Structure 1
């Protein structure tokens, strides 16, 4: 009775995921069940199995390992046909492998070990497999593979299943895929008629067409989560999609969390690894992950047992907050371009709201000719500048509050004169770093270093490089000028994958529990942006956990840039990041948001 309940439970999982109402009937009708192994019973955390060759290539520093391995397999098949055999073995492949500085025998052992480390039970099929074994009905594994039965025994042993009968093409010199002769072996060895055997597998030809031709029953297993991943996609992209089928299958398909997992997770994990390396080289005392771009970075670092960082924190602030802290009565006029920047299309009162200053009453603004019905344009800048200057004493109160809070905030973190501080930001031209240094310089003497995901080739960045210490993981030197241009053109999309589930920080103030942020929700409709950011962040953090575990397990050798590449692929593809979910994000930039208009992320994508 118990085994029947377990069987129904296992079938229920498949029905819930796939709607497979026929499977239970097929299993009940069969006297023996055969399971395909790869991509059915066991899966790899890779979208493309051949991407394992890239892991080996990095492990042994053989840049063209994938091409060499492919060529060796083609030659092994040629030799196989020449002598009239039906299948090749791993030894046959490496007998054809072009000589490198690493002995072929060592490469063969490494591939065997890697494949063994990669495979893990498929959550969608493994419970059914184990349940069927408990029923006493004959259950076997039938696989086309150049690896011998020893490999399958090694893979099954940790699960207590080393005793399961195996029919492996490399040992039987017969395949499923070609003429289906491996099924003849299965039928003969089981001593049953072909029609009493059910084969379950994912490949249409090898697991459905061929067994049916041999008279077996067949069931075509289709994974609940299938994504078309380009063959040219990066290894990290492949791993991201693969992890979504294995350890991270709880991430909802087609969700912002999935988007964050594949693209944001890789970008944050790679960037954090780069930042860690830089802090060691530069002997940094404190790492400040700037809000909002440093939210997930700081959380990932916190979650790591040994982050390898000096003192670090999620540092509240922004270009707006730091610039305001630098404004005083004697330099107010110098900051007029900042106060007017990006104001086209806004209502006049919104210029004050976006810096945390309470504007005059609507009636006073209307009397000044700056009422709610007025839309800011360049032609209005002179009048607005006069108004802001006349209202400067109210603005300066907020500036002074920010300046005092910033000083207390730094002291509260143990940062003082002589400290070597790294500001971690997504990019692009060092604007926030410039504002921070300008605000802090009169308060205390710090050594400030800017660490960026990407620095763009802009005049502003080139100017700031003369006085600011800035370095980035992604530059024209590490990629290309064209790639940097595409990234910068789609920078708003990149920022989404680093953003935090809270509103923009536009100021600092003293609170009951220390320094608190002053937040700006923007003035337009942001829709469900905070929920979107929360989901993206959840995906980012989940990727970091699972990729980190896989990295430990496999010893995957990848540079920070290689890890982060999926996001760069997304925003530099020919048609741009035209993902439907991205296009639904509204009023992402609080500084330029207005009640007068609505901006979606689609307006920024190129």
Structure 2
């Protein structure tokens, strides 16, 4: 045979390609026969429990032992005892305890890969010899014990010989296969070796003319994604790789995926493990609630975002299918049914009024529809009014009574809908959704208790309650397992997940008398719906095969491991998207689902580019974007890692921390009959652009910029004014510039004829202190700009305020 590569999902075909001359199947052990429920081999080490974390110290001890082995023992391989002797020297008892702890950890996290088990069974049925050849610090006896422990004694009995590098003092690349040939008495042409390492399992046996096949566990993209999942999970939860491993219980199933279409791979590898873990948790929560209440539990998955979780749950637990109800309750209908009295109306209205009391009402349709006024009534209530004035009208008794009457009628229609879906009075129900504060449950629970006598619990994928409610709520990810900042960091861009969990229906805005949902027209494009349905199909394929690849599940395969693995998947998707995911999402839009037909583009890279050029990285700290990491993806992983870090840990960076590489820009300020020559610092933003901010008071000052002294060609992206107290992109007002000795050769691009070329921005009267923004990119410099530290931006702002005063 030639040196071939084979994917894990094709292992079942391997023996059919083996010529009769091959009589021995040789297998690598780790990541071939025995896999771990973890991202990397070092993720076993947290179980050692060393103070301050075990991974780094355990790795250093092994490195030290290997460095000493040639000199002290005349061999290149080491044993587990020798490693731990370096880790805790002069304490034999502690060494022995750590050795046992590591063996116990391997037994807890390892599993036998089912396709390789099947390969061994097939080889024995063909009368072939089976050997294991492993680069390992475990002795043969210990490796045999591990195989029996995780794969069963029957599988171990089919393995004829085991070759461990530590017992021969050399690894595969240094000559272990010579011992294999000698002790088996076989010719190289009679052996087929398979393993996951190209050097150790292909090049090394090939040196002895042994047939070799490379087991490709994952594609390069999948490997990258798995690495980033472990990194994201570690950032999200500081216990990961400290006291807990980076769990990845989905590795085996991903390796066995056959369909390489990017959308299918996303649904299978990303959505699948998250929905499978969520469904398993929901099942256990439902059983616990049944035990607590003594009643069967009906599972109410809230459409629309509850659609994929419902499908996943039913696929994993088909015996519960008759209790799974996909009910059409939106935030809009839940709130509309909840206005029982003036208190509930006022509790709904007050947060909006307090924040916007003096502003003109800009959401008339939303507010008035939510309060159950017709469009004509809403127009009359809001025309020409501020939010405060609108609120005063709503407080009038006649309006309050109208809202209460209409809300009670609305709740009767909602109850009819639930009756039609098989929910009976007195039932125990579990409301299930992606989350995030249980707003629907908060609004409708009292209605369900009073009108139907229901016992209500809420279970969510992500629960982020800013203020704790008295309701029975839990989240698969909530503050029982993560700090509030971690939950908030996931919550920010969560709309990405929503797009793949929903169903192609419009948002429910009312119910007919018999409870039939009345919906808006769905606003999502056909192409987006097609991608969503393909991804959901792949997700359900994963869920149905949960556990595929295990001969027997590893002992660490529990709720905690699956939650941690799912958290890494979700955080990676939200902050470290892959190229294929960006391509898939680039034309997606988000339905805001508030009883309106509003659609928001998922992300706008051009807008993010413009913001970065004009404001620099600091703009991302508080940018309220739908999927900012997707917009920043083209700028590389470091930028998204910075964003994730800032949001995960609520890091209190000021703008000054982002201001580096200050270029001194020569300027002249004119005003009040005087002028002064100065320099102003321009700070690097992105894509080679710089930003300078110049205080101009309330428009008393005209500014001249002597660009010719520095540049032959310069490109301007922005020349604008903005208030000192509103350092945001949206507050800008374009400024008019007069140029002298400069020629605009393309839009925003200027050729400056000589060192005397300049630009003047004229003063514009304003009611508050203003800044002049100059965002430019040097194209060809005339003289090297001077780079030095300058006064922090807040001092420049103070100067502007003083000048304005």
Structure 1 length-normalised TM: 0.67
**Structure 2 residue aligned with 1:64, among 40, 53, 58?**
53
Match runs of 1:353-432 below 5 Å = 402-408=410-416, 413-416=423-426, 423-432=431-440
Unaligned runs of 5+ in 1: 1-6, 340-345, 361-367, 369-375, 387-391
- Spell out, residue by residue over 1:573-597, the C-alpha distance to the aligned partner (whole angstroms, 9 max, x if none): 3779993366157344263698896
Q: Structure 1 residues 496-505 or 226-235, which shifts more? A: 496-505
By how many angstroms is 1:436 displaced?
0.8
The residue aligned with 1:169 is: 165
**Do the aligned partners of residues 440 and 214 (structure 1) sit closer, same or farther apart at CA in structure 2, a change above 3 Å counting?**
closer
**Structure 1 residue aligned with 2:496, among 490, 493, 496?**
493
**Do the aligned partners of residues 294 and 586 (structure 1) sit closer, same or farther apart at CA in structure 2, a change above 3 Å counting?**
same
Q: Distance in 2 between matches of 1:500 and 1:270?
A: 22
The residue aligned with 1:363 is: none
The residue aligned with 1:208 is: 202
Larger radius of gyration: 2
Unaligned runs of 5+ in 2: 234-244, 353-361, 394-399, 605-624, 629-805
By how many angstroms is 1:502 displaced?
5.7
The residue aligned with 2:75 is: 85
**Do the aligned partners of residues 25 and 431 (structure 1) sit closer, same or farther apart at CA in structure 2, a change above 3 Å counting?**
closer
**Do the aligned partners of residues 76 and 318 (structure 1) sit closer, same or farther apart at CA in structure 2, a change above 3 Å counting?**
same
The residue aligned with 2:140 is: 149
Q: Distance in 1 between matches of 2:539 and 2:131?
A: 37
Q: Distance in 2 between matches of 1:25 and 1:332?
A: 72
The 8 Å contact of residues 436 and 462 in structure 2, kept in 1 or not, is answered as: yes
SS in 2 for 1:529: helix
**Do the aligned partners of residues 456 and 120 (structure 1) sit closer, same or farther apart at CA in structure 2, a change above 3 Å counting?**
closer
The residue aligned with 1:322 is: 334
By how many angstroms is 1:88 displaced?
2.9
**Structure 2 residue aligned with 1:240, among 250, 253, 265?**
250
**Structure 2 residue aligned with 1:443, among 446, 451, 462?**
451
By how many angstroms is 1:170 displaced?
3.4
- Spell out, residue by residue over 1:511-561, the C-alpha distance to the aligned partner (whole angstroms, 9 max, x if none): 5xxx55444452352535376257437626844863699796514465485
The residue aligned with 1:580 is: 582
Alignment root-mean-square deviation, CA: 6.1
**Structure 2 residue aligned with 1:119, among 98, 109, 112?**
112
Q: Distance in 1 between matches of 2:596 and 2:602?
A: 12
By how many angstroms is 1:176 displaced?
0.3
Q: Distance in 1 between matches of 2:527 and 2:442?
A: 32
The 8 Å contact of residues 290 and 315 in structure 1, kept in 2 or not, is answered as: yes
Q: Distance in 1 between matches of 2:344 and 2:130?
A: 81
Q: Which structure has more RCO (C-alpha within 8 Å, separation ≥ 6)?
A: 1
- Spell out, residue by residue over 1:165-221, the C-alpha distance to the aligned partner (whole angstroms, 9 max, x if none): 4333234333203x1x11111222344555665543321221233233345454433
Q: Distance in 2 between matches of 1:415 and 1:347?
A: 37
Q: Which has the larger share of strand?
A: 2
The residue aligned with 2:180 is: 186
Q: Distance in 1 between matches of 2:460 and 2:28?
A: 47
- Spell out, residue by residue over 1:297-316, the C-alpha distance to the aligned partner (whole angstroms, 9 max, x if none): 556666777999xx985544
By how many angstroms is 1:233 displaced?
5.4
By how many angstroms is 1:492 displaced?
1.1
Q: For this pair of structures, how many residues does the alignment match?
A: 564
The 8 Å contact of residues 300 and 541 in structure 1, kept in 2 or not, is answered as: no
**Do the aligned partners of residues 296 and 552 (structure 1) sit closer, same or farther apart at CA in structure 2, a change above 3 Å counting?**
farther
The residue aligned with 2:396 is: none
Q: Distance in 1 between matches of 2:500 and 2:178?
A: 53
The 8 Å contact of residues 430 and 456 in structure 2, kept in 1 or not, is answered as: yes
The 8 Å contact of residues 176 and 206 in structure 1, kept in 2 or not, is answered as: yes
Would you say 1:259 and 2:264 are equivalent positions?
A: no
**Do the aligned partners of residues 572 and 89 (structure 1) sit closer, same or farther apart at CA in structure 2, a change above 3 Å counting?**
same
